[in-house]
Amino acid sequence: MTATRGRVLIININYPTNENITDREGSQHDYKNLEEMFDKLGFIVSNLSDDKAWTAQVTIDIQTSLYYSRLK
């Protein structure tokens, strides 16, 4: 097993809730390219992909809370 360089989280928001930002129908293609690149660089890739931006933010808040609770 080879050592990893760390972790990377890719957040793919197809349909933002902000009406000033347009939908990104092609974002899945961007995500796949980023996933492949980080994998080749030796990172463990996690993704968060959802149609609602607020869901992504809630998940980040939960993951951040879990991370910092382990440091205590």
Lookup: tokens for 10: 């890719």
Q: What's the number of domains the chain is made of?
A: 1
Residue 16, domain member (yes or no): yes
What pLDDT shows up at residue 15?
67
**Which range of residues forms the domain containing residue 14?**
6-71
Tens-place pLDDT, residues 12-56: 777 666 677 776 778 888 889 999 999 999 999 988 776 555 566
Asked whether residue 52 is assigned to any structural domain, the reply reads: yes
Q: What is the helix (H) or strand (E) element at residue 34, kind and residue range?
A: helix 27-40
**Over the range 34-56, which residues count as b (16 or more CB within 10 Å of their CB) and which as e?**
ebeebeeeebebeeeeeeebeeb
pLDDT tens profile 1-24: 567 889 998 887 776 666 777 767
**What one-letter code names the amino acid at 16?**
P
C-alpha–C-alpha distance, residues 4 and 58, integer Å: 27
Residue 1 lies in a domain: no
